[in-house]
């Protein structure tokens, strides 16, 4: 496993004086250009930089065990607690993950108009479709691996809300998952919970640019219907190659219940009716073949929202 030499406090503060790399509903992320393997993820509730500097200079950094090995999920490696509320860390040091978000609408930035967003959505969808099968196999392997570590891709709310948690890297010619949650974060889970959101249904949700924020404006665009039909087809083909189905995830239930969710999703995407039966039949026939042993030494990662990572 790679040894990490984490950035200094001075490097962190310098990075935070520049423009953020990205911004979400919970935090801003700054790249540490003087130590480019890392980013700093900072709570939107953070005090001014001068006050924050005093806090992190006068309080110890807390390091976290990395249970993900040499895989890159932009995971947090260390954090500083909020002295007033130790359960809510102020900032984390994370691995830098290459690539661009495939989300069309960016938090903290003006919402593009429908025409501009349509251009971006088409380009991002074409980018996903131009990836080789190996790129889909890599992200499926990550889903298998995350389940063995009792962590899940974080999907947010309804059917199409997690594209911001997947990055596309032209250099690596693949996709990366960059936001996680532990299985223990969700109440009422059975003891045998094994997948979380690490299933084909939720992967398909994460690879469909613009499907949530422009669901109505773009639902009838013939190019996007074609692209989304092909993306869903590739997700199902990847699930068949990598032996992963939807049973055992957070939706629980049996394959018939899963089929109902697939029907709802592909209908909302306006995928032509002629493809529905075959798609649902294929995803329903996949038999799971887990790849990795389940880790016993679990670690409860933290993130700047105050919740487990």
pLDDT in tens, 232-271: 999 999 999 999 999 887 766 678 888 998 999 899 899 9
Percent of the chain with pLDDT over 90: 50
pLDDT classification of 226: cutoffs 50, 70, 90? very high
| Most confident listed range (215-229, 279-293, 295-309) | 279-293
Average confidence (pLDDT) over 167-191: 80
Report the pLDDT value the prediction gives residue 309, as an integer from 0 to 100.
43
pLDDT top residue among 275 and 164: 275
What pLDDT does 190 receive? Answer: 61
Dihedral class, residue 99 (left if φ above 0, else alpha if ψ from -120 to 50, else beta): left
Which of these, 101, 80, 139, 9, lies nearest to 304 by C-alpha position? 80
Q: Summarize pLDDT for 55-112 with one digit per residue, the tens.
A: 999 999 999 888 898 999 999 999 998 887 777 788 999 999 999 888 887 666 677 7
First to last CA, the chain: 21
Tell whether the model's pLDDT for residue 193 goes beyond 60: yes
For residue 122, give every residue at least 6 positions away whose Cβ sits within 8 Å of its Cβ, in sequence order, or none.
223, 224, 227
Greater pLDDT, 164 or 189: 164
- Every domain of the chain and the residues it spans: 9-95, 100-285
Q: Which of 26-30, 149-153, 193-197 has the lowest mean pLDDT?
A: 193-197
Question: Cα(137)–Cα(140) distance, rounded to whole angstroms?
Answer: 5
Q: Is the dihedral of CA 270, 274, 277, 280 positive or negative?
A: negative
pLDDT of residue 187: 56
Cβ atoms within 10 Å of 242's Cβ, excluding its own: 20
Q: Residue 301 above 80 pLDDT?
A: no
Q: How many C-beta atoms lie closer than 10 Å to residue 261's C-beta?
A: 17
Q: Find which of 15-29, 201-215, 275-289 is predicted with most confidence, using mean pLDDT.
A: 275-289
- 111-143 confidence digits (pLDDT tens): 778 888 899 999 999 999 999 999 999 999 999
Q: Which tokens is 40 given?
A: 């700093």
How much is the pLDDT for 233? 97
> Under the phi-then-psi rule, with left for phi > 0, alpha for psi from -120 to 50, and beta for the rest, what region is 196?
left
pLDDT recorded at residue 308: 43
Tokens describing residue 214? 């422009």
Instruction: Give this prediction's pTM.
Output: 0.90
Contacts of 190 (CB under 8 A, 6+ apart): 252
Extract the tokens encoding 101: 């978000």
Return d(Cα 204, Cα 232) in angstroms, integer.
Answer: 6
Task: Give strand pairing partners of 175.
Answer: 168
Contacts of residue 96, Cβ cutoff 8 Å, sequence gap at least 6: 31, 32, 36, 37, 38, 39, 74
Please, are residues 86 and 194 in contact by the beta-carbon 8 Å criterion? Answer: no
Provide the mean pLDDT of the chain: 86
Residue 125 burial (C-beta neighbours within 10 Å; 0-12, 13-18, 19+):
buried
d(CA 265, CA 152): 20
Distance CA 259, CA 273 (A): 15
Contacts of 109 (CB under 8 A, 6+ apart): 23
Q: Between residues 215 and 275, which one has the greater pLDDT?
A: 275
């Amino acid at each position: 496993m790679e040894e990490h030499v984490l950035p200094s406090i001075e490097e962190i503060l310098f990075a935070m004086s520049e423009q953020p790399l990205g911004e979400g509903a919970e935090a801003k992320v700054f790249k540490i250009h003087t130590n480019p393997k890392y980013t700093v993820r900072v709570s939107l509730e953070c005090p001014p930089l001068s006050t924050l500097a005093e806090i992190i200079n006068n309080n110890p950094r807390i390091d976290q065990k990395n249970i993900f090995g040499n895989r890159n999920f932009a995971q947090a490696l260390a954090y500083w607690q909020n002295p007033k509320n130790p359960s809510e860390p102020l900032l984390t040091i994370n691995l830098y993950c290459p690539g661009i978000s495939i989300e069309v609408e960016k938090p903290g930035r003006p919402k593009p108009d429908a025409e501009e967003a349509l251009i971006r959505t088409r380009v991002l969808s074409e980018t996903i479709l131009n990836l080789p099968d190996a790129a889909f196999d890599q992200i499926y392997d990550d889903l298998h691996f995350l389940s063995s570590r009792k962590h899940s891709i974080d999907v947010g709310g309804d059917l199409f809300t997690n594209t911001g948690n997947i990055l596309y890297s032209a250099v690596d010619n693949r996709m990366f998952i960059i936001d996680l949650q532990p299985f223990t974060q969700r109440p009422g889970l059975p003891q045998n919970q094994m997948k979380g959101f690490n299933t084909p249904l939720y992967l398909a949700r994460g690879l469909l640019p613009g499907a949530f924020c422009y669901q109505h404006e773009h639902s009838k665009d013939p190019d996007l219907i074609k692209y989304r039909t092909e993306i869903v087809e590739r997700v199902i083909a990847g699930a068949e190659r990598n032996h992963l189905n939807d049973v055992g995830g957070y939706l629980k239930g049996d394959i018939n219940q899963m089929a109902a969710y697939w029907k709802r999703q592909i209908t909302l995407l306006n995928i032509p009716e002629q493809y529905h039966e075959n798609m649902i039949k294929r995803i329903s026939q996949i038999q799971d073949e887990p790849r990795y042993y389940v880790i016993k030494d679990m670690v409860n990662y933290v993130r700047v929202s105050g919740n487990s990572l």
